[in-house]
Amino acid sequence: MDQIHTMTIKELKNEREWKVAFPVIKQLRTHLDEPNFLALVKEATQKEDYKLVALYHHDQVVAVTGFMPMVTLYNGRSIWVCDLVTDSAQRSKGYGEALLNYVHDWSKENGYDLVSLSSNLQRVDAHRFYEKKMNYDKVSFVFKKDLA
């Protein structure tokens, strides 16, 4: 049986489901512990319409994405992919592509014609994936300032 026929993609809608995704998300968001992760997902889903979506392979979470609708003067109505991670032991099996295609389909079905994301500078393999495999264009730098 190939990978595609054993995959299920599901939006995670409650704390119990979010907890199952945490071990995979933690590989990308290493600064988070589970209580902070749960609190942030709860707030983001309530205030920002954030969606947390998992890809299951044989009933095990192997990849996770988080995204949210946005309206900005720069992009108009668009989707911002906040998080996209595949379990380190499960990479290069098409799971990231399947999740990003899910986001693209969700976006089109809900009236959003543009999807964007940012990726840390050192994630060269991720950049290659976005540009070569998923046909994303590199259009800007993202700057941040820590005020804490």
pLDDT digits (tens, 9 = 90+) for 21-65: 999 999 999 999 999 999 999 999 999 999 999 999 999 999 999
Confidence of residue 119 (pLDDT cuts 50, 70, 90): confident
Its pTM stands at 0.90
- In the β-sheet with 76-86, what is the strand arrangement from edge to edge? 7-12, 51-57, 60-72, 76-86, 115-117
> Does residue 143 form part of some domain?
no
117 SS3 class:
strand
Could you tell me which residues come within 8 angstroms of residue 111 by beta carbon, excluding any fewer than 6 positions away? 77
Q: Is residue 33 part of a domain?
A: yes
Round to whole Å and give the CA distance between 132 and 101: 14
Instruction: Give percent of the chain with pLDDT exceeding 70.
Output: 97
69 domain-assigned: yes
**What is the Cα–Cα distance from 45 to 53, expressed in whole angstroms?**
12
Residue 68: inside a domain: yes
**Residue 145 in domain:** no
What mean pLDDT do residues 4-33 have?
Answer: 94
Total domain count, the chain: 1
Cα separation, 78 vs 7, in Å, equals 27
Is residue 111 one of the residues assigned to a domain? yes
**147 in a structural domain:** no
Confidence tier at 3 by pLDDT (50, 70, 90): low
Q: Sign of the CA dihedral 3, 119, 42, 68?
A: negative
Q: At which residue do the structure tokens 């983001």 appear?
A: 44
Answer whether residue 138 is part of any domain.
no
Percent of the chain with pLDDT over 90: 79
Domain CATH code at residue 88: 3.40.630.30
What is the DSSP-derived secondary structure letter of residue 92? S
Distance CA 106, CA 64 (A): 15
Q: Is the pLDDT reported for residue 120 higher than 90?
A: no
Write out the residue range of the structural domain in which residue 55 sits: 4-133
Long-range contacts: 28-34, Cβ < 8 Å, 24+? Answer: 28/83, 28/84, 28/85, 29/83
